[in-house]
Structure 1
Amino acid sequence: MPSTKTTPPFKREHIMTKKTLAVAAVITAALSAPTMAADWFIGGGIGSQENNYKAEITEAVDPGFSKGTFKDSDSDMIYELRGGVYLNDNNRVYGTYSYNSDDFAKQQSFLMSYDYLVGLDANNKFNWFIGATAGVNHVSPDTDVLESKNRFVWGGQTGFMYKINDSLSTEIGYRYLKQDYERSFASDAGDKASFSLDDSQQVYLSVDYRF
């Protein structure tokens, strides 16, 4: 039967502090950006996502098991839809829905992001961007032993954006997401273990339509 893992109060406070700071950073950066003529956009992209997992056997009763920590990484395709607004030439905010499935779990993410853009040419057609992200990730492990859960995620992204014309732009980016999925469980024989998704890294290519 699965067992519930109790998080110490001091650890819960530390986790909540990180979550609050991540969300506050995205909101503050977006609200502090000077607003001029805004360009709304919608788009989509594809790429690759690497997920880093950790399993730990904390108590082994069955002779076939032994205590220890095991780490593994798995990579697969990521698909995303997004929409947002360019507040001006240097600031944008947007929301992203993404889907990823690997050998261990399926993930659906709902993220809010802020980027600061730096023009690399005289016409601001080619830009470098860097920003922060926070949101919710729904993790669905491919086993009945582990439960599907919504978990907070936060991180940042960077990359390059090219404005093809007034309506179309494309970009290549890298995003790091700190995950918050961890479950503990026990077998009928008394073996105890935990499973966690520590973080994810994404490399993506997207195309956006401005209006």
Structure 2
Amino acid sequence: MKKQTIVIATLLSSAMAMPAMAADWFIGGGIGAQQNKYEGSRMHEVDPGFNAEYAKDKETNVLYELRFGAYIDDNNRVYSTYSYNSDDHSRQQSLLLSYDYLVGLTADNKLNWFIGATAGVNHISPATNNVDSKNSFVWGGQTGLMYKFNDNVSTEIGYRYLKQDYDASVSYGNPEPAPHNIGITESASLNDSQQLYLSVDYRF
């Protein structure tokens, strides 16, 4: 938890300083693909090793995002992103705060490579009524290429990795007759997500 607090505090400090230093504000949107890595188990409460079942699954579906931020200068930017993703296991809505460092790859700085860090909150709504929706902390980083068509319009392709912190479990009785009707516990976790996206931004 201490590490998470430090990451969020650092990004928030950058965001709070942004209005005073910002040279160019921007707003944009993007579309892409998000892959979520799930793990789950089903076991007896009395004897967890008896007929225990474990499963792993990866789901890849469409990602939508909107973002708003500012270029502090030619090499630094800070922005907030809202993203939406839904698959067979859950529906996710994320609010992220990111920082990128940009490196010009051409003399006119139209083509840039960027790399940065991200932290935020992910709201997960499981695709079952047995588990409640939940907010969880996410953190990670991103990299990609950004191309400026002119002073106002740019596009980029990026890859983002997010470490998730989501776990859920539910317990219920086994319908088998006694003495076999001991409790059952099912648990699931979302370990990480990977995003590949294409976005367009407008500077003003």
Q: TM-score range by the shorter chain?
A: 0.7 to 0.9
2:141 maps to a residue whose letter is: G
After TM superposition, give the deviation of residue 68 of structure 1 in Å: 3.2
- 2:66 is the alignment partner of 1:106: no
1:73 maps to a residue whose letter is: K
After TM superposition, give the deviation of residue 18 of structure 1 in Å: 2.7
Q: For 1:170-205, what per-residue CA distance to the aligned partner results, in whole angstroms no more than 9, with x for missing partners?
A: 000000001111012111221112111111000000
SS at match of 1:187: strand
- 2:151 is the alignment partner of 1:151: no
Q: Between Structure 1 and Structure 2, which shows a larger proportion of strand residues?
A: 2
What is the CA–CA distance in structure 2 between the aligned matches of 1:37 and 1:147, rounded to whole Å? 40
Structure-2 residue corresponding to 1:198:
191
1:139 maps to a residue whose letter is: I
Alpha carbons 2:41, 2:54 under 8 Å: kept: yes
Higher gyration radius (CA)? 2
The unaligned stretches of length 5 or more in structure 2 are 175-182
- 2:69 is the alignment partner of 1:84: yes
SS at match of 1:19: helix
Structure-2 residue corresponding to 1:132:
117
- Residues 31 and 116 from structure 1, CA distance in 2 versus in 1: closer, same or farther, beyond 3 angstroms? farther
Structure-1 residue corresponding to 2:178:
none
SS at match of 1:77: strand
1:41 maps to a residue whose letter is: F
2:104 maps to a residue whose letter is: G
How many residues are matched? Answer: 192
Q: For 1:9-48, what per-residue CA distance to the aligned partner results, in whole angstroms no more than 9, with x for missing partners?
A: xxxxxxx123123214434666799x76610000000000
After TM superposition, give the deviation of residue 70 of structure 1 in Å: 1.0
Q: For 1:59-88, what per-residue CA distance to the aligned partner results, in whole angstroms no more than 9, with x for missing partners?
A: 278xxx931321100000000000100000
What percent identity do the matched residue pairs reach?
A: 62
Alpha carbons 1:82, 1:96 under 8 Å: kept: yes
Q: TM-score w.r.t. structure 1 length?
A: 0.85
After TM superposition, give the deviation of residue 107 of structure 1 in Å: 0.4
What is the CA–CA distance in structure 2 between the aligned matches of 1:91 and 1:180, rounded to whole Å? 28
Aligned alpha-carbon RMSD (Å): 1.9
1:185 maps to a residue whose letter is: V
2:191 maps to a residue whose letter is: D
